[in-house]
Chains A and B, each alone.
Chain A
Amino acid sequence: MNISGCRFVAAFIALGIIGGRAVYSQKHADGTASSTNVRFTDIGGTAGVNFRQINGASPEKHLAETIGSGGLFFDYDNDGWIDILLVDGGSLADPAIARQARHRLFRNRGNGTFDDVTSSSGIRHLGYGMGACAGDYDNDGRVDLYITNVGPNTLYRNAGGGAFTDVTRTARVGSPLWSTGCAFADLDKDGDLDLFVANYVSADGKHNPYCGNARLNIRFYCHPLIFEPRPSVLYRNEGNGTFSDVSEQSGIGAIRGNGLGVVIADYDDDSWPDIFVANDSVPNVLLHRTGPWRYEDLALRAGVAVAIDGMARAGMGIDAADYDGDGRLDLVVTNLDFEMFSLFRGLGGRLFTYATPESGIGSTTLPFVGFGAVFFDFDNDTVLDVAFANGHMLDNPAQFRAGASHAQRKLLFRNLGARRFTDVTSSAGPGFALEKVGRGLAAGDIDNDGDLDLLVTNNGQTADLLRNDGTSGHALVVRLIGTQSNRDGIGARLRLTAAGRTQMREVKAGSSYLGQNDLRQHFGLGELTRAERLEVKWPSGRVDVVEDLPADQIVSIREGSGIADRRPFGK
């Protein structure tokens, strides 16, 4: 992130170029092209998700104060209703404030309202909290939790009964650096989840230079480039409750970047997961597997390291999905104001093209400092839309640009098809009208009604739980249960075909900014009431196919067995 002013970035458009696969136009059942009938309403307070992030903001302007924190959806008690974890920050300047910080675990009551069950969970706040990711690393059927910090990270093993146990030391995953985004994935296809942790910079509170304008007597948060970049960490799951740090062996340890957002997905369809890291003010990183526990950074050659002018942007949040329906993964990365958020469209052949302006996202995002990013089909019209959580880095931006604000509204872009989006924020309801200092953004169906809701974390403010109301389209939600593969099916690729069109999803544990989406995969079906075919390609290599699936239900697919459970949506 940087505080520089306007920079004319050459931004380009595909002049009607159509890719090799079908690119379609969609009729939208919900609303017109430039608006939506779907409304998002913040129900955080009424739903019981009462949480205000303690950022420890101080006159000394420790950088950590403005970075966090994140949050995620996960079903820790396996009752079929997703729960919420919210990471709290703390204070690097005042121990008394630091002691007030508490992560919060909210259990879904089964109707989209929540109970705070933190006190009985065993989850404790340590250090200064950043983000989290969740995955069943020991395949015991209960999803575990990894929380990143400024300082040692923490791995909580889900012991069942609502209790988590800190197993960091035995698991050997307590990286002491300032960690940010994390993601679980089975990187060696041995059936268990490995762990990737992005690390940021050396600003841990002990070294905090003065950054400001003495003449105007204002202090601001330092640019991250003032600090030393940190290498990310890669942990191999040994299958016995422990991990090994394979960062050096893998080549990842030699790559130093200001890592923030992480997403793991197979971008080149070679069946091996690849690791994307959004780096702050230095080129993004795309770690491509070249062999067993060997990775090479191909970001520059792939076209996702920098923007079109060859210069890095302030990469914060990141998500990967196939937004144009051509069967290839695409990427979105949020950036600082006046940089535009970066949309990279997959071309195949391990290449991406910088597709920001052609997409309709470009100029709209210019005034925003973006963090969380999520591809999701909010209106169930079969195409992936995108949302962003925004909020300035600086708590005093008006000092630098009159009219700039710390709190910013979120953005919601509707996918129009033909690789274009339109900004529908203004019609998306009161939840999107809120101006806050947005950070994390996660999508999940909190009330199992078949549409995706959003969890938003805000720096120094209350979290938002935006319930999705108003969509009339049909949908299908798929939960995976691995047997040979990891229990959550993380890394599995799903292809759902309905009315001759195929949607693709990949199960990711860790994405956006410092958080994670609901692991269940949501497919909007529009007016269709059934899907002809669902194909699941598991990390193990096994392919399961289910045919003739009625819409409007949550189906659980067990590896090798097919449908293990069905539940209709509860509307």
Chain B
Amino acid sequence: MAETVLGRAVAVACVTAAVLSMPAVAAAQQQTFFQSVAELADAAEGIYGDEGSHIGQALDTMSRALDGWDREIATLEARVAATQTMSARTRIESGLTLARMYADRGRLDDAMRHLDQVESLEPKDAAVHVMRGLLRDARGEAAGALEAFRQARAEAPDDPATAYFLWRSSEASGNAEGSRGARAALAAAYGPLLRDTRRTRGAPFRRIAPLEEAARSTPLVPLAAYHPGFERLARGELREAIEEFRRAAASDPLVKGASAQLSVVPRATEALRQGRLADARSFLEQPGATDDSSEARRVLGLVYWADSDFDKSIEQLETAMRMNPGDERSRLALSRVFSSAGRDADAQRALQDTLRVIPASERAHWWLATSYEHVNRFVDARHEFEQAASKAAAGRSHLLGAVGRLASAAADVAGATDAFSRAVDEDPDNPAWHRLLAGALLFQDRPDDALAEFVAALIIDPRDGDAHLGIGQIFLNAGRDAEAVDALRRAIELKTDTLDAEYALATALTRLGDSREAARYFERVEQVQRQRLADRRRTLSLDALREEAALRAREGDHSGASALWQQVIGLDPQRASDHVGLAGALANAGRLDAAIEEYERAARLGADPVVYRRLADLYARAGRAPDAARARLRYEAALGGGSPTR
């Protein structure tokens, strides 16, 4: 390229563009890497029993993606070095980009070193200080993080996100004065947020935790054997993580079984995937098919489970466990089968046994938590959720949210606050955690802190109607009625369910003397209240009838049960499970044709696929073999592609 000013400018532009566009390439490698992690975790579940090869594939993809990622970083390092002759702004931006990449890659020391260089160019760039604060946080350096956020705040006093970083950091460090100042800044930030009608949801508080991106919606609680690999991942030791995963896979019966090429199991799992349960059973019920393989026993247990043959499923899974006591999958599956069979106590016992034999089974803690919660053992559930949260690879916020919910259920407001606060720490860009934390803070009589958390939710998404509502209600109770009106009007614009906002607004308007408009909102509130009350009455009455029908059935009074189910259906004819209930009662009362009719009706209303199995049984009992066969096929078709074992 000609050494002209234009040429140099173009060269700079190209490099700049290359530098700034480079992250997209590296980002793709990063995404591929973590996507493979998710695929590994998914495959390791072993739901069908044929995922062994998928684990190997995922590991290979991870290796390739990591290599590619590192290459991209190295390339970017070289490119960044080449920017030394460019403008400070370009060098700052490219430096920040590289620091971010280092951080995502787990190379925190490199990221910090690079930030130092960037800061030397521009000590007043708030983004630099924010990133430094996040890095310090990630390294557990609370004092350093606080100082960094303080500097960020000083450089960007109009950015509410810096106020939030500073506030949380001050709180964590016990810096009361800093906390108060930052919190006041957040409160002052509400006005502009209220008027912000254009910005959509963002991620202003992003942590340095790339694995979290892959686990946005559910916790990532790996099986015990793979946990060391995930621990490495969490520490940013990605290459070491792959090695740990490979070591785990080498002794994983799911993988070994695949490599051992037991011909029967793959055919059975293929049939299971396609919902051909009869075929799956027949493959594995052949003499000798499962004699020497705990994995084959486990798969057969899964097949029986899918076929709702719980007793046989339990038998096979228990046998698999005896053959391989360390088989976590069989143990976990056993607990699920017990749950499916309505044997909650046995399910819990199975999970407790799992923990006794495999103390590192975080999955068992998690499932035990949900099982306890299902039977209202909230204290025990909370304890187990805490255990699971402490070791989850990602998505801890959801488990902590469960802890918070259960703490609330125990009226442990301090515990709820603590749990939701930790959830915010884990997933600070989820406005729901900020709102829940705000709610808990209000219970603790800490409205200023609550206001700050509601503002944080709005920094993420200024269209968060519930956050505007929460702020409006804080204002209302503080006697700031005019401000309350503004906030509540905005809440009403944004929310779908507006009863609470309209009531609060009506109250505020009344206090301001605008009785006419207040009356309009009060009327609407009364209307909604009446409707909800009527709905609630109906629901409670129907639920009482349903329970009584179930009770009569348990007592053997099937005619009585049938009559009650008919009453329920007369009031609410569109609920599939009610038709299933009636069908069951009719069948037990010997009224097969009527029962069949009800099961068919239930199926049309979208009942669980098991209804086809029951239809098949009834048709068979009624001597209608072809119909029975058709029902059986419908059952298997309904299962195909979606095993009940998932």
- Decide: A308 and B547 in contact? CB cutoff 8 A: no
- Decide: B377 and A301 in contact? CB cutoff 8 A: no
Is A499 an interface residue when CB atoms closer than 8 A count as contact?
A: no
Q: 1/0 contact trace for A254-297 toward B, CB 8 Å?
A: 00000000000000000000000000001100000000000000
- Decide: A360 and B479 in contact? CB cutoff 8 A: no
* Chain B nearest Cβ from A307, distance in angstroms: 9
Q: 1/0 contact trace for A3-25 toward B, CB 8 Å?
A: 00110101111110100000000
Q: Give complex CA distance A353, B342 in Å.
A: 48
B31-49 contacts to A, CB under 8 A, are none
Q: Give complex CA distance A539, B477 in Å.
A: 34
Is B341 an interface residue when CB atoms closer than 8 A count as contact?
A: no
- Decide: B547 and A214 in contact? CB cutoff 8 A: yes
- Decide: A337 and B510 in contact? CB cutoff 8 A: no
* Chain A nearest Cβ from B296, distance in angstroms: 34
Is A543 an interface residue when CB atoms closer than 8 A count as contact?
A: no
- Decide: A309 and B551 in contact? CB cutoff 8 A: no
* Chain B nearest Cβ from A514, distance in angstroms: 24
- Decide: B405 and A6 in contact? CB cutoff 8 A: yes
B442-487 contacts to A, CB under 8 A, are 442-445, 447-448, 469-470, 473-474, 476-479
Q: Give complex CA distance A106, B586 in Å.
A: 59
- Decide: B445 and A362 in contact? CB cutoff 8 A: yes
State whether A401 and B499 are in contact (beta carbons under 8 Å apart), knowing that A300-B526, A301-B510 are contacts in the complex: no
State whether A215 and B342 are in contact (beta carbons under 8 Å apart), knowing that A8-B408, A14-B477, A226-B537 are contacts in the complex: yes
Q: Give complex CA distance A212, B544 in Å.
A: 7
A226-268 contacts to B, CB under 8 A, are 226
Is B550 an interface residue when CB atoms closer than 8 A count as contact?
A: yes
> For residue A15, which residues in chain B have a CB less than 8 angstroms away from its CB?
447-448, 478
A328-365 contacts to B, CB under 8 A, are 337-338, 347, 351, 353-355, 357-358, 360, 362-363
State whether A226 and B413 are in contact (beta carbons under 8 Å apart), knowing that A12-B476, A215-B550 are contacts in the complex: no
> For residue B499, which residues in chain A have a CB less than 8 angstroms away from its CB?
309-311
> For residue B551, which residues in chain A have a CB less than 8 angstroms away from its CB?
210, 212, 214
* Chain B nearest Cβ from A359, distance in angstroms: 9
> For residue B540, which residues in chain A have a CB less than 8 angstroms away from its CB?
223, 225-226
- Decide: A210 and B547 in contact? CB cutoff 8 A: yes
Pair count A-B, CB < 8 A:
153
- Decide: A13 and B447 in contact? CB cutoff 8 A: yes
- Which of B119-127, B154-162, B256-264, B501-509 is the contact stretch? B501-509
* Chain B nearest Cβ from A303, distance in angstroms: 6
- Decide: A209 and B548 in contact? CB cutoff 8 A: yes
- Decide: A366 and B477 in contact? CB cutoff 8 A: no
* Chain B nearest Cβ from A219, distance in angstroms: 8
> For residue B544, which residues in chain A have a CB less than 8 angstroms away from its CB?
209-211, 222, 226
> For residue B585, which residues in chain A have a CB less than 8 angstroms away from its CB?
none
A10, A209, A217, A312: the one contacting B470 at CB < 8 Å is A10
> For residue B624, which residues in chain A have a CB less than 8 angstroms away from its CB?
none
> For residue B553, which residues in chain A have a CB less than 8 angstroms away from its CB?
214
- Decide: A282 and B533 in contact? CB cutoff 8 A: yes
> For residue A213, which residues in chain B have a CB less than 8 angstroms away from its CB?
547
> For residue A309, which residues in chain B have a CB less than 8 angstroms away from its CB?
499-500, 503
- Decide: B547 and A11 in contact? CB cutoff 8 A: no
* Chain A nearest Cβ from B524, distance in angstroms: 10
- Decide: A226 and B541 in contact? CB cutoff 8 A: yes
State whether A14 and B479 are in contact (beta carbons under 8 Å apart), knowing that A209-B545, A312-B529, A401-B378 are contacts in the complex: yes
A211, A214, A347, A402: the one contacting B379 at CB < 8 Å is A402
- Decide: A300 and B533 in contact? CB cutoff 8 A: no
- Decide: B541 and A403 in contact? CB cutoff 8 A: no
Q: Give complex CA distance A10, B504 in Å.
A: 11
Is B621 an interface residue when CB atoms closer than 8 A count as contact?
A: no
> For residue B504, which residues in chain A have a CB less than 8 angstroms away from its CB?
308, 310
- Decide: B529 and A11 in contact? CB cutoff 8 A: no
Which among A216, A363, A399 has the highest number of chain B CB atoms within 10 Å? A363
Q: Give complex CA distance A570, B186 in Å.
A: 59
- Decide: B529 and A13 in contact? CB cutoff 8 A: no
Which residue in chain A gives the minimum CB-CB distance to B541?
A226
Task: Report the interface size for chain A: residues with CB under 8 A from the other chain.
Answer: 53
- Decide: A362 and B443 in contact? CB cutoff 8 A: yes
State whether A400 and B376 are in contact (beta carbons under 8 Å apart), knowing that A300-B526, A310-B504 are contacts in the complex: yes
Q: Give complex CA distance A366, B377 in Å.
A: 18
Is B619 an interface residue when CB atoms closer than 8 A count as contact?
A: no
Q: Give complex CA distance A52, B502 in Å.
A: 47
* Chain A nearest Cβ from B143, distance in angstroms: 31
Is B554 an interface residue when CB atoms closer than 8 A count as contact?
A: yes
B515-549 contacts to A, CB under 8 A, are 518-519, 522, 525-526, 528-529, 533, 536-537, 540-541, 544-545, 547-548
Q: 1/0 contact trace for B329-363 toward A, CB 8 Å?
A: 00000000000001000000000000000000000
> For residue A357, which residues in chain B have a CB less than 8 angstroms away from its CB?
442-443, 445, 447
- Decide: A351 and B533 in contact? CB cutoff 8 A: no
* Chain A nearest Cβ from B214, distance in angstroms: 30
Is B14 an interface residue when CB atoms closer than 8 A count as contact?
A: no
> For residue A222, which residues in chain B have a CB less than 8 angstroms away from its CB?
544
Q: Give complex CA distance A357, B502 in Å.
A: 21
* Chain A nearest Cβ from B620, distance in angstroms: 28
Is A367 an interface residue when CB atoms closer than 8 A count as contact?
A: yes
Q: Give complex CA distance A366, B410 in Å.
A: 9
Is B77 an interface residue when CB atoms closer than 8 A count as contact?
A: no
Which residue in chain B gives the minimum CB-CB distance to A397?
B376
Which residue in chain A gives the minimum CB-CB distance to B502?
A310
> For residue A101, which residues in chain B have a CB less than 8 angstroms away from its CB?
none
Q: Give complex CA distance A303, B518 in Å.
A: 12
Is A306 an interface residue when CB atoms closer than 8 A count as contact?
A: yes
> For residue B445, which residues in chain A have a CB less than 8 angstroms away from its CB?
11, 13, 357-358, 360, 362-363
* Chain B nearest Cβ from A258, distance in angstroms: 11
- Decide: B474 and A12 in contact? CB cutoff 8 A: yes
Q: Give complex CA distance A240, B341 in Å.
A: 70
Q: Give complex CA distance A214, B376 in Å.
A: 15
> For residue B474, which residues in chain A have a CB less than 8 angstroms away from its CB?
12-13
Which residue in chain A gives the minimum CB-CB distance to B447?
A13
- Decide: B529 and A310 in contact? CB cutoff 8 A: yes
Q: Give complex CA distance A311, B532 in Å.
A: 10
- Decide: A212 and B547 in contact? CB cutoff 8 A: yes
> For residue B442, which residues in chain A have a CB less than 8 angstroms away from its CB?
10-13, 357
> For residue B503, which residues in chain A have a CB less than 8 angstroms away from its CB?
306, 308-310
> For residue B500, which residues in chain A have a CB less than 8 angstroms away from its CB?
10, 308-311
* Chain A nearest Cβ from B310, distance in angstroms: 16
- Decide: A303 and B507 in contact? CB cutoff 8 A: yes
Is B210 an interface residue when CB atoms closer than 8 A count as contact?
A: no
Q: Give complex CA distance A490, B376 in Å.
A: 48
* Chain A nearest Cβ from B522, distance in angstroms: 6
- Decide: B413 and A366 in contact? CB cutoff 8 A: yes
Which residue in chain B gives the minimum CB-CB distance to A5?
B409
> For residue B447, which residues in chain A have a CB less than 8 angstroms away from its CB?
12-13, 15, 357
> For residue A282, which residues in chain B have a CB less than 8 angstroms away from its CB?
533
- Decide: B477 and A338 in contact? CB cutoff 8 A: no
Is B66 an interface residue when CB atoms closer than 8 A count as contact?
A: no
B411, B439, B525: the one contacting A310 at CB < 8 Å is B525
Q: 1/0 contact trace for B19-57 toward A, CB 8 Å?
A: 000000000000000000000000000000000000000
**Besides A13-B478, A310-B499, 11 other A-B contacts (C-beta < 8 A):** A6-B411, A8-B439, A11-B443, A12-B442, A210-B548, A225-B536, A226-B541, A303-B507, A311-B499, A312-B533, A399-B376
Pick 22 A–B contacts, CB within 8 A, sort by A. Answer: A8-B436, A8-B440, A12-B442, A12-B478, A13-B474, A209-B548, A210-B547, A210-B551, A211-B544, A212-B551, A214-B553, A215-B342, A301-B506, A310-B500, A310-B525, A347-B511, A351-B511, A353-B479, A354-B477, A362-B443, A367-B410, A403-B378
* Residues of chain A at the chain B interface (Cβ within 8 Å): 5-6, 8, 10-15, 17, 209-217, 222-223, 225-226, 282-283, 300-301, 303, 306, 308-312, 337-338, 347, 351, 353-355, 357-358, 360, 362-363, 366-367, 399-403
Q: Which 8 pairs show the lowest CB-CB distances between chains A and B?
A: A12-B477, A310-B503, A214-B550, A366-B411, A210-B548, A6-B408, A367-B411, A214-B551
